[in-house]
Chain A
Amino acid sequence: MAESTSEIAGSLVPTQKTQARILLEAGYLWMDMGQFDKAKDVFSGAAALMPKSEVPQIALGTLEFAQGRHEKALQAYRAAQRLAPKSGLPRAHAGEALLFLGKVPEAVKELQAAMQIEPDGDGAKLAKALIEAKDAGALPPKGAKKK
């Protein structure tokens, strides 16, 4: 049986992109179904499998965010930011978590940074949408604690 090379940089074991996609997709499906524990198991496994990738960390942050734990979500997004400092997506997600924490000035700073890092990237699109929602009065939510 031939040894296949890994398509994921820094993976613990040789992993194909398709396998990684299926794994992450399964985690998001569990999360959308409200099975947060199973989703966390899958995302934690993906993070262990791909320790150099920011994608599982963002997924873990999204999972915490979906459960209303914005502080833990922010921690996961910061971890993703450390793994990919030139990516705007972790900063956009961090800005989103900060908005829900009621820290509007810091959130705006993160969102603007996300738009500057990758003006045409997904992070910039998300940051722009979040700023528009903030300007429309939809964010931060009324229950957000101002700290």
Chain B
Amino acid sequence: MTTVTDENLQGPLTVSTIMHVVALVVLYFGVPSLFKPPDALPWHPVPVDIVDIGEITNTRLKNTEETPPAKTAPPVKPAPAPEVKPPEPPKPAETKPEPKAAPEPDEAAIPKPATKPKPPEPPKKEEPKPQPQQSDPLASVLKNVAKMKPAPAPTADARPDTKKSEGETTTGASSNQGPALAERLTISQEDSLRRQIGGCWNMPIGARNAQDLIVEVLIEVNEDRTVRSAEVVDQLRYNTDSHFRAAAEAAMRALRHPKCTPLDLPPEQYEKWKTIRFNFDPRDML
């Protein structure tokens, strides 16, 4: 009888065992998905730019009044920016036959008939020149009285900051591909140096082809942050092109200017700035 009972139990026992095993397996591996498992996500490396922040946070915008225009020649005022109006589509001047129906013979008696129109009456007084207040530091420094007439908007004060930081991060970014992180100056440190040297650099804006006068200078710096040696990289051009030489010398004067000595660098990190490559580029200011 017992055997019968045992035998009777054999079926359920097997089932139970199987169920347990299945339960354990499910516990261990999870419920098998009935659908096709999703493709494995590929490993996309997420680039993270780790930026050192100096102890002192962002350097403050240099007060533009620090470089006052000289009394004799006031060229430090950058003109408000917008480029000259785009020219209207050229009229097909040449193709127009333009039969002058009634040529005025009287005009012939006057020299340069069109060039000397009567000055308007009544004469207006010379209106005081709108003070070209600091408007857009990235704008051309070449003066244009037409641009000055619509005085810069009152928001002009706020604009430089944003504009400037834009400009600087882009220029700063170019140096990001340089040496390894630990060997680099922080962005704030580079900015202070950039701003310092910029304040000593007299740009060759009126020179012929000033946009081509881009000067690269390699300097070695002493531990006391003074310039030990400075060399213009393009020696061939330096020795053959008098305009380039003048621009290069202006760059060298900036690096040796008493106002820019010592260089604005973190004194304790000499290894980082033993040599510096400067690129003086006036294009944005033309």
A, B co-complexed: no
